[in-house]
Amino acid sequence: MLVKNSYRVLRMLAFLSIAIAAAISIPHVTAYAEQPDDSLVITAPVFDSREDYYDFLRSESSDANSPSSRAGTLANIGLSVIRSGNTSRCELYLHWNGTDIFNSFRYRRIRITNGSLLFPTVYLDLGDGSTYQFLGVVAATQGSKIIKQFNLDVGIDEVTASVAGLEGYSMSKGWLPAKTWSNRIVIG
């Protein structure tokens, strides 16, 4: 009788642990499924200073001028996060370089998170996902534009950005959607 009761208790515990695990994971799956289909998820590196950020941009610029990167690519577009000293104050930047002249960018949503699927934390959420937010820039083949200032705990050195509906306005070709995004966002 004792063995039979122990077996029932073990089965009940196994069932409860599976039910609890499923209940915890369901909201996260739902939240992930709510992202628009044209979302891009990129990892955001952290820069320690503006100088490090500008060094990064210079290296991106020299890569964009190489013959192998120019073939079929109008611009490399990325996001960076720059921290103000050893504080929580940060700035989100959009930067680009390439062969076409761009004078504006637009997006439907930019969301900066910790990147965790189990315990997501949203640090910055811009746009509603359906209407475009516009960023006017000085017409150029390369440059950067501050998007927003926000606070980020000092101990955080890497974040993830989800970007939906990002497009750039090429002065020769009109609005062009961003198809791939291969660089990381840096916090510095």
Domain ranges across the chain = 1-34, 38-177
For 13, the 3-state DSSP assignment is: helix
Whether the per-residue pLDDT at 155 is higher than 90: the answer is: no
What is d(CA 81, CA 90) in angstroms, rounded to the nearest whole number? Answer: 6
pLDDT of amino acid 7 = 63
Give residue 164's Cα distance to chain centre: 10
Q: At 143, is the pLDDT very low, low, confident or very high (cuts 50, 70, 90)? A: very high
pLDDT of amino acid 101 = 92
pTM for this one?
0.62
pLDDT of amino acid 2 = 56
Question: Could you give the residue ranges of the DSSP H alpha helices within 34-176?
Answer: 50-64, 67-70
The most confident of 40-44, 68-72, 113-117, 118-122, by mean pLDDT: 118-122
- The mean per-residue pLDDT over the stretch 71-99 comes to 83
Question: Which residues, 6+ apart, have CB-to-CB distance to 188 below 8 Å?
Answer: 46, 47, 48, 49, 50, 52, 53, 80, 81, 82, 83
